[in-house]
Chain A
Amino acid sequence: MKKSLFSCRFLIILLAAATCLFLPAVGSAHVQQGQATSFFTGISHPWSGMDHILAMVAVGLWGAQLGNPALWVLPVSFPMMMAVGAMMGLLGIPVPGIEIGIAVSALVLGVMILGEVRPPLMVSVVIVGFFAIFHGYAHGTELPPGQSGLLYSMGFVIGTGCLHGVGIAIGFIYRWPSGRLVLRATGAFIGLMGTFFLWQAIV
């Protein structure tokens, strides 16, 4: 019985995949145009710079290392403070040393993971939130012309959240003794990369 069900499921998945290949060439599903493009531009934006990727993955890794409730409180606070940073950029409020701030974020978060530092929850939230402002300021204000601000914003925030998710998923290795070592080594790598970015930002 199980075999029959499995083969049927397999057939359905195969047919669904084949159906996708035959999807209509044009899907005009709404009055506004370029909606999907805006969303995918936004979702891919946080993945466009290695400094951002490392810092955001590091947030997830650190959260996984700290465990509950930091596991989800850090990914909650980061996008909101990032949006605050983006809003500051949009309103033209000057924030000095953006690139340095981004590089230092990777450095500090890397060191936190390397040293398995466990500050009180509020302190870790403040650290993550502070650095999120720099990331938001740098990247949240770059809306390509002709694209939907709403869908770009949603894509941008979801893209950032996915990077935290990647960090959290990798961070689950923390439950094994060897995984802890690997996680700390990852922190060392992120810290080193942060130092490199800092050097690039200063020189």
Chain B
Amino acid sequence: MKVFGRERAFTAVVVFTCSILFPTAGLAHLVTTGMGPVYDGTVHLLLTPEDLVPVLAIAVYSGLQGREYGRYILFVLPLAWFLGGMVGFFSGQLPALPYASLSFLLFGLLIAINARIPVLVFLSLAAAVGTMHGFFNGQALKTGPGVVGMIGIMVTVFVLVAIISALVSVSSRYWVKMILRVMGSWIAASGLLMTGWFIRGYIT
């Protein structure tokens, strides 16, 4: 056990030494990660709150509603995202739409009020959200990682949904669900505010 403790301390020292050798600028951008297009897609999703939050919200909602919802969404959302991405990749530009605001609002509200909708309706809504986000991702990745980047995004969506949905569905503690519903209200409120910003920008 003592040796194990020493090993951990040694690892910590190595990590620390490596950390102080960091360059002065940390560039994690799509072009500069240097990890290949798949990881560029992954990084794109993880660093874009407009896309990341709806994925988390959909995963949390499916987890709250039970395993049946989680099983289906695990495949429906990544596939819808990828298909939307392919359409976006090969099509022309669309005008700016408040799709992220509406995704926030829809799934934030569903979590906050813990509304139980039929599984088919849920899957349709999630697929619509995934397709829309994927479409704009596809357009954004045209000049960067391309189709392979979309595969990275799809895999990341799959992994996130699998982990979050499973964690939420196995948790039976009351306070966990309470906190998740409060967070759902935060997501919905952010969506409502963003919709307001969009409409104000449109009318002024």
> In the complex the two chains form, is A8's CB within 8 Å of B8's CB?
yes
* Cα(A143)–Cα(B2), bound, Å: 55
> In the complex the two chains form, is A158's CB within 8 Å of B28's CB?
no
A79 on the interface (CB 8 Å rule)?
Answer: yes
> In the complex the two chains form, is B1's CB within 8 Å of A161's CB?
no
Which B residues lie within 8 Å of A84 (CB)? 192
Which A residues lie within 8 Å of B28 (CB)? 27-30
> In the complex the two chains form, is B27's CB within 8 Å of A5's CB?
no
* Cα(A24)–Cα(B20), bound, Å: 9
> In the complex the two chains form, is B199's CB within 8 Å of A91's CB?
yes
Which A residues lie within 8 Å of B112 (CB)? 76, 80
> In the complex the two chains form, is A83's CB within 8 Å of B182's CB?
no
Contact of A156 among B188, B193, B203 (CB under 8 A): B193
Which A residues lie within 8 Å of B95 (CB)? none
> In the complex the two chains form, is B193's CB within 8 Å of A140's CB?
yes
> In the complex the two chains form, is B25's CB within 8 Å of A24's CB?
yes
Which B residues lie within 8 Å of A90 (CB)? 193, 196-197, 199-200
Of the listed residues B5, B29, B179, the one surrounded by the most CB atoms of chain A closer than 10 A to its CB is B5
> In the complex the two chains form, is A161's CB within 8 Å of B195's CB?
no
> In the complex the two chains form, is A19's CB within 8 Å of B200's CB?
no
A25 on the interface (CB 8 Å rule)?
Answer: yes
* Cα(A156)–Cα(B197), bound, Å: 14
> In the complex the two chains form, is A4's CB within 8 Å of B190's CB?
no
Interface residues in A53-98 by Cβ distance below 8 A to B read 71-72, 75-77, 79-80, 82-84, 86-87, 89-91
Contact of A157 among B9, B27, B100, B193 (CB under 8 A): B193
B residues touching A (Cβ–Cβ < 8 Å)?
A: 1-2, 5, 8-9, 12-13, 15-16, 19-20, 22-30, 47-50, 53, 100, 109, 112, 178-179, 181-182, 184-186, 188-200, 203
